[in-house]
Amino acid sequence: MEKIKGLIDAPFTPMHANGDINLDIIPAYAAMLARNGLKGVFINGSSGEGYMLTEEERKQIAEAWMAAANNLTADVAPEGFKVIVHVGSTCVRQSYRLAEHAQAIGAWGVGAMAPPFPKVNRIEELVKYCEEIACGAPNLPFYFYHIPAFNGAFLPMLDFLQAVDGRIPNFAGIKYTFESMYEYNRCRRYKNGKFDMLHGQDETILPCLAMGGAQGGIGGTTNYNGRCLVGIQEAWERGDLEAARALQNYAQDVIDVICHFRGNIVGGKRIMKFLGLDMGPNRTPFQNITPEEEVRLKAELDAIDFLNHCNK
């Protein structure tokens, strides 16, 4: 299977003030991401509040992103623009239908994280869950989204790769959003790099590049800091370690700010308003940014000269 090179964005789900999804903003959103070097999107995941959306809303969002991707011009996205659809849910039959829909509309791939309930405690449970979902889109690459902080599935990923190898024909790899770079690299090296290991932590892109094999990744802060994060990989590829370090350090400065405002899903989503793309509120149970917090968020970003560093 084709391995992803470069960074894929995990977009927010735009919403109107009343909490309904806002599809109208997606074409401009896709164009901004492509201009800043992102190679595609991984929609309806954690950044996109996928678990708080209805099945119909998730399908509508997928269709809107496909239309936006197909309408990007060659000068904006010369290599095309991939749409990967996160289809994980607490109902595996719903996930199957979402995967089936993603294939029907021409998505590039599908993926799923482990469900938050019931908690997955064994490798076989996780393999079976992925197997039932992946067969809904047999012609698309399937990625497991490893983010145990969200679902408690703290399972060894090398064991998972060994168990899934040969069992799910369209299994492509893992979006790895966890702190163990040692485990990440063990998975990357499995069978001489058989599976696509997509780096999932924006704060440690450079260390994974330095380990010698990271080619692609999926990020959340790429929504508003994509130019910086893409720049890390570009600087590394041209051998400019000092520039790559400076960009990685700046990316961490931005992450330090959003950590003061309930992280990327809440604080990061509000940053988009400063860039002219108001993503609207978060869905319950997320606690939305207050007007007073918005003022403080903007001040902290101004203190690190964010608007002169961020996306075009």
Round to whole Å and give the CA distance between 184 and 176: 7
For residue range 94-131, list pLDDT tens digits in order: 999 999 999 999 999 999 999 999 999 999 999 999 99
pLDDT at 214: 75
Question: Which of the residues 145, 176, 184, 250 is marked catalytic?
Answer: 145
φ/ψ (deg, to 5) at 114: -65, 145
How does DSSP assign 205-222, residue by residue? HHHHHHTT---EEEESTH
- Our answer to whether residue 3 is catalytic in this structure is no
Task: Compute the half-sphere exposure of residue 171: CA atoms within 13 Å on the CB side of its CA.
Answer: 23
Six token digits for residue 34: 């492509």
How does DSSP assign 131-163, residue by residue? HHHHTTSTTS-EEEEE-HHHH-----HHHHHHH
For residue range 173-216, list pLDDT tens digits in order: 999 999 999 999 999 999 999 999 999 999 999 998 988 677 89
Round to whole Å and give the CA distance between 73 and 151: 38
Task: Using the predicted structure, report yes or no on whether residue 89 has a pLDDT greater than 80.
Answer: yes
Q: Where do we find the tokens 């996930």?
A: 95
Map residue 240 onto helix, strand or coil. Answer: coil
- Our answer to whether residue 273 is catalytic in this structure is no
pLDDT at 280: 98
> Following CA atoms 232, 236, 239, 244 in sequence, which dihedral angle do they give, to the nearest 10 degrees?
30
Task: Using the predicted structure, report yes or no on whether residue 37 has a pLDDT greater than 90.
Answer: yes
Round to whole Å and give the CA distance between 196 and 214: 9
pLDDT at 312: 63
Round to whole Å and give the CA distance between 109 and 70: 15
Round to whole Å and give the CA distance between 277 and 141: 31
Confidence at 238, pLDDT banded by 50, 70, 90 = very high
Round to whole Å and give the CA distance between 108 and 236: 27
Beta bridge partner(s), residue 144: 112, 174
In Å, what is the CA distance from 230 to each residue of 39, 80, 251?
A: 10, 16, 11
Question: Which of the residues 82, 175, 176, 269 is marked catalytic?
Answer: 175
Q: What is the topology classification, in CATH, of domain 6-244?
A: TIM Barrel (3.20.20)
What residue segments make up the domains of the chain, in order of their start?
A: 6-244
Confidence at 311, pLDDT banded by 50, 70, 90 = low
Q: What pTM value is reported for the model?
A: 0.97
